[in-house]
Amino acid sequence: MGGIVGKSKKVFNVSDLPVFGTLLIIVVALGLFGADAPASSLTISFLMLAVTAVSLISFNDARLELWVVPFVALWAILIGVHYFTGRAADGEHEYLILLSGGCAFWMGRYGAVSRRRRQRLFNVLAVFAFAFSLFAFLQHMIAPDLVLGVEKAYQRHRLTGPFLSSNTTATFLGLLLVFLVYRMVRTAQSDAGDNRHASLPLPLRWIISKPITISGVLLVFTALLLTGSRAGFFATATALAILLIGMAFGSSDKSSKESASKSNSFAIMLPVVILAGISIWTLSGSLLETRLETLEGDFEARRAMVEASWRAGEWQPVLGHGLNALDYATAFTSTASDNRFIVAQNATHNLFAQWFMQAGWPGLLGLIGLIALVIYSGYASGRSKSLSALRLAFVTVVIAHGFFDYAVEIPAMFLFLCLLIGLTAQPPKKRRNS
């Protein structure tokens, strides 16, 4: 009931609607160029809050739990203090998107309550990853100067996707690549003892088992290289290394025979992935290598922006200047030597310096504590090490790139990250009835 049934497995169930609704909102945000404009951000926030409210009413598994209260209280304190001190002016959409991110996380966590539900949603995410990367790739090949009919103001020779930013798109593609590689490795591990198609070579069995996932890996990696994002590429590479190490040494096996079979499968998978990556790198051209040659000059501009933002934070270390107050704050701290960089960049290009400027020491320490809590909670239950490794890899992509860029400040990017973090939550030992 309530689902479309195949030969043996449901591919959709009514209980999946909250997560589907969240993913649809993210797609809408992508169509609004990431929903970075205040009006677009407010629209996406209201849609996210509406989906969450309906889900809380309609599905028992989605009901809030007591441990959520402190996080909502901290958000209320942040917006309350900034509002009554005049720091929230012109930044209302930024505060609402924070709350919407919490809603996206909760919808993802709801999807993770049931293992079967999460598996269905992971299948949908794989299709989404393939479709997004295919769109970004074809758009760049057919009309590199345009995105959704809008002419790009800069980065015309680089793939920018709907974000109109190569760096933000690189972070988004990095998350997709990490997810698809996770599915590919899990397929190799689960098919290790499968006798179906036993006469075929193992890589061919993987392709037959997960064609969208395998082709998606190649397509996403190609699109990532075409962004020419140096930090995005190396952040993704670091995350993939963490993921593969975590999955290689952290899987819980039922028997020594099965363990050996999974190890052999993984040993075959790793060189296949590396070989495919090297092949795509070789065929993709020299865009990334060319941009590495200008690393020193570009780093100087980012360093000037980070230093200006940090000085602005030191000016208001207790409460910060408020969200969306970058231009106002840095106007008081720029100097003759770095003003040209600040005007040209118009962004902090460092997640931690940005939060220090926006919310002072409480905001910066709160951000660090939240990151630590997200990572710790993934490993706390000790049940699924693979999911814990996947969550850590997601965080690594965003944080590693966050030292040099501000992708997570874009609403579509932020909501997608929160949804993925929620979907990697450990399922309870005894699932509640819905």
At 321-365, the pLDDT tens digits run 999 888 888 777 777 777 766 766 667 889 999 999 999 999 999
Q: How many CB atoms lie within 10 A of CB 327?
A: 10
- 10 Å Cβ neighbour count for 204? 10
Q: Cα separation of 359 and 374, whole Å?
A: 20
For 8, what's the count of Cα atoms within 13 Å in the CB-facing half-sphere? 0
What number of other Cβ atoms are within 10 A of residue 339's Cβ?
A: 14
pLDDT tens-digit map of 370-416 = 999 999 988 876 667 889 999 999 999 999 999 988 889 999 999 99
- Quote the CA–CA distance of 294 and 286 in Å, as a whole number: 13
What was the pLDDT predicted at 284?
A: 54
Would you give the distance in Å from CA 25 to the centre of its chain?
15
Going by pLDDT thresholds of 50, 70 and 90, the confidence category of residue 2 is very low
Q: How far is CA 119 from CA 11, 28, 64, 216, in A?
A: 9, 24, 23, 17
Residue range 104-146, pLDDT digits in tens: 999 999 999 988 999 999 999 999 999 999 999 999 889 888 8
Other beta carbons within 10 angstroms of residue 52's beta carbon come to: 23
| pLDDT above 70: percentage of residues in the chain | 77
Task: Report the C-alpha gap between 230 and 151 in whole angstroms.
Answer: 24
pLDDT recorded at residue 191 = 58
pLDDT at residue 193 in the model: 46
Which amino acid belongs to residue 39? A
Q: Residue 417 and residue 351: Cα distance in Å, rounded?
A: 15
Phi, psi of 146, deg, nearest 5: -125, 150
- Look at residues 234, 236, 188 and name the one whose alpha carbon lies nearest to residue 386: 188
In eight-state DSSP terms, residue 392 is H
Q: How far is CA 434 from CA 9, 14, 59, 84, 159, in A?
A: 19, 11, 7, 42, 43
Q: What are phi and psi of 335, to 5 degrees?
A: -120, 175
For residues 350 and 355, what is the distance between their CA atoms, to the nearest angstrom?
9
| Nearest alpha-carbon partner for 415 in 50, 45, 92 | 45
Of residues 417 and 226, more confidence is placed in 417
Looking at residues 246-274, what average pLDDT do you find? 58
Structure-token pair, residue 413: 């990017």
Beta strands in 145-270 (DSSP E): 146-147, 150-151
Q: What is the DSSP letter of 5?
A: E
Other beta carbons within 10 Å of 222: 18
The angle subtended at Cα 147 by Cα 175 and Cα 144, nearest 5°, is 95
Handedness of CA 167, 323, 147, 214 (dihedral sign): positive
> What pLDDT shows up at residue 433?
43
pLDDT over 90 (residue 209): no
Give the helix, strand, coil percentages of the chain, each rounded to 5: 75, 5, 25
The token pair that represents 243 in the structure block: 């993921």
Q: Are 237 and 298 within 8 A, CB to CB?
A: no
- State the pTM of this model: 0.89
